[in-house]
Amino acid sequence: MHAFLDQLVNGLALGGIYALIALGYTMVYGIVELINFAHGDVYTLGSFFALAILTALGVSGEVHGVALGIDIAVAVVGAALLCGIVGVLIERLAYRRLRNAPRLAPLITAIGVSFVLENAMQLWRGPAPVSFPSLLPNPSFVFGPLTLTLKQILVVGLAIALMAALQSFVKTTALGKAMRATAQDRDAAQLMGIDIDLTIAITFLIGSALAGAAGFVSGVYYQSTWFFGGFGAGLKAFTAAVLGGIGNIAGAMVGGFVIGIVEAFSTWLIGGQWANVAVFAILIIVLVFKPAGLFGRAVVEKV
């Protein structure tokens, strides 16, 4: 029982990071039907930005009290903002011109952008894993058989809070309405006076900002980051988005947690080398029986 709960919490924390990245995949796909393969690298970039901000703040070890709150806030907001800007730039420079090109062209471009970001990060911070300051004290909270650490609470809490904020933004604001309209029918939305370019840029801004926040969280959680880390995490987050039903925000969240838990449990029960196999096997099974994902609606082909 004890091991079961430990693995469950561990899987949830891991899934929280996947979920935050998956949100960006799902938003961008929902609106421009582009699988933004560079998204995982934006997430890694976020961890490097957060590290740079923490270094500039002079943080090198544990911080307590009010200073901890300020440092976290500055690092999260800073990393999210910088990543958001990078996301907008990527969209402007690499994807906008290809918006009406055949599907394959922006996909290949996205892979190209991914290489560019990976190599830029390798040049910036070197190829080896880089240490992240152990910002959070790491006390454990014991509830009966359940043990939680502060880091795990931070990851899961932040993921859920950001998802809730995003959901209410998309559902209630005018801008969110514009995003939903653009996702449904770009041309019709444009005819109704919606600025498509701006709406898509904002989608990239928000999606990349969430990846930036996820980058900070993963840095704090693992206390290390490296330039290539976004590749594997991005791929699993993409799987999470597909599993939940790509284009669906709540689905991406649930997908992320499911994948985190599957990964933890398959490592525990089958063996570490089979974790990826289990994750992708589940993906295939879900897609066979529910091609639109767990929460996706079957898409009617636009004629």
Binder of another protein out of 223, 250, 282, 294 (CB under 8 A): 223
Residue 149 touches another protein, criterion: CB under 8 A: yes
Binder of another protein out of 23, 47, 263, 286 (CB under 8 A): 263
Residue 272 touches another protein, criterion: CB under 8 A: yes
Contact region for another protein (CB under 8 A) — 2-10, 47-55, 77-85, 295-303? 2-10
- State the minimum distance, in angstroms, from the CB of residue 269 to another protein: 9
Q: How far is CA 2 from the centre of its chain?
A: 30
Rounded Cα distance, 192 and 172, in Å: 19
Closest C-alpha to 15, from 156, 157, 146, 206: 156
Binders of another protein: how many residues, by CB under 8 A? Answer: 40
Residue 247 Ramachandran class (φ > 0 left, ψ -120 to 50 alpha, else beta): left
Rounded Cα distance, 10 and 8, in Å: 5
- State the minimum distance, in angstroms, from the CB of residue 59 to another protein: 15
Buried b (16+ CB within 10 A) or exposed e, 75-103: bbebbbbbbbebbbebbeebbeebbeeee
Q: How far is CA 18 from the centre of its chain?
A: 6
* Closer to another protein by Cβ: residue 2 or 171: 2
Residue 232 touches another protein, criterion: CB under 8 A: yes
* Closer to another protein by Cβ: residue 170 or 243: 243
- List phi, psi (to 5°) of 290: -135, 85
- State the minimum distance, in angstroms, from the CB of residue 170 to another protein: 30
Rounded Cα distance, 273 and 29, in Å: 30
Contact region for another protein (CB under 8 A) — 95-103, 174-182, 232-240, 248-256? 232-240
- State the minimum distance, in angstroms, from the CB of residue 82 to another protein: 22
Contact region for another protein (CB under 8 A) — 89-97, 170-178, 179-187, 270-278? 270-278
Contact region for another protein (CB under 8 A) — 48-56, 156-164, 195-203, 222-230? 222-230
Four-CA torsion 160, 165, 249, 303, nearest 10 degrees:
180
* Closer to another protein by Cβ: residue 271 or 291: 271
Binder of another protein out of 81, 85, 265, 290 (CB under 8 A): 265
* Closer to another protein by Cβ: residue 115 or 165: 115
Rounded Cα distance, 267 and 301, in Å: 39
The length of the chain in residues reads: 303
Site for another protein in 49-68 (CB under 8 A): none
Residue 271 Ramachandran class (φ > 0 left, ψ -120 to 50 alpha, else beta): left
- By the criterion CB under 8 A, which residues form the site for another protein? 2-3, 6-7, 10-11, 14, 37, 111, 118, 122, 127-129, 131, 138, 149, 151, 222-224, 226-229, 231-233, 235, 263-265, 267-268, 271-276
